Amino acid sequence: MPAEFRPAEFRIVRLQIQTGPMKVGRAPLRQYRTDGLQQVERLLIDDRGSHGVWTADDGHEQRAIDVHHRDHPQSRNRKGGAGLSVFGTGDYDALRERYGPHLVDGAVGESVLVDAPAGLADLDFPTTFAIRGAAGMIAFVQARVADPCVEFSRFCLGEQPSPQVSDAVRQALIDLDDGHRGYRAAAAAAGTITVGDRLVLGPS
């Protein structure tokens, strides 16, 4: 059962984009890969998805579109409603305790990682929330659990792709539900998100 929801704020400690699909190959032998993750300094977000902006080693500003933007050529969000994902630091602690140290921060593929020592999983997560930054509030809607998949479950377990789904993967699909893979939502307006901004769940 989900825990009772209580209004709270969480500081954003990491931002990233997925430059391409994280599930590569053909079913049933697709594999979950983290190669396409890019940590960024800020997210430029609107109701179509987000772009990431960061400073390269040569000092030049770089910008790339996230794979959950509706305009990405390999978009995983053609219909909208899933342009941003959220995860908590405590949820990573729980994943590492269950599956091992390869579940480093960012490996889940979330857009926004917040400092939440108790985690966000199992909450009665609100369907709307906001992110507060220097320029004001950005509202998010259609928030929901990010469903676990076979490929990510195998990644957690260290299993290789197979035409057969093991009992361990079937159990992981249960264990990774209810927010243990994070939450997805869509922006209701355009804005910029930076590290240090606040995820606001409940009245602000």
**Cα dihedral 87→92→98→102 (10° resolution):** 120
pLDDT, residue 80, reads: 85
pLDDT, residue 168, reads: 98
- 167/136 Cα distance (integer angstroms): 47
pTM metric for this prediction: 0.94
Q: What 3-state DSSP class applies to 163?
A: coil
- 202/90 Cα distance (integer angstroms): 20
pLDDT, residue 2, reads: 60
Q: Domain spans of the chain?
A: 8-201
In order along the chain (204 residues), what is the average pLDDT of each group of 10 residues? 69 98 94 97 96 96 97 91 95 98 98 97 92 94 96 98 97 97 96 97 72
Beta partners for residue 62, in sequence order: 54
Considering the segment(s) 8-201 as one domain, its CATH architecture is Beta Barrel (2.40)
Within the chain, how many helices (H) and strands (E) appear?
A: 3, 14
pLDDT, residue 3, reads: 59
